[in-house]
Amino acid sequence: MSKEKWLIPEEKSRRIATAFIIAGVLVALFLIAIAGYLFVEMGYKNEERKRLDAEIERFEQLIGQQERDLDYYESELGRYHEALEQGWKTP
């Protein structure tokens, strides 16, 4: 077999090269679009995480305050003051 049989004409080789370049550019654009979407989604997730962390901290403070209130009302002094507020009189 002659070597000339395997050679591709110049026009056909240009078309193939152009097709590969276009395919590469399209793949690169697709990957850039996916990366952009992921970065935007990461930003939203980070904002949501920060908001939830702040809410958790607020609830932990609220729980701490409620525990202090509970300790006070379970004590003798707290019961005494609550009884006075309810209209009880001291002897």
Burial 52-75 (b: 16+ CB within 10 A, else e): eeeeeeeeeeeeeeeeeeeeeeee
Q: Per-domain residue ranges for the chain?
A: 45-91
Q: pLDDT tens, 65-85?
A: 999 988 888 898 888 888 888
Q: What is the pTM of this model?
A: 0.56
Please state, rounded to an integer, the average pLDDT across all residues of the chain.
90
Q: What are the φ/ψ torsions at residue 62 (nearest 5 degrees)?
A: -65, -40
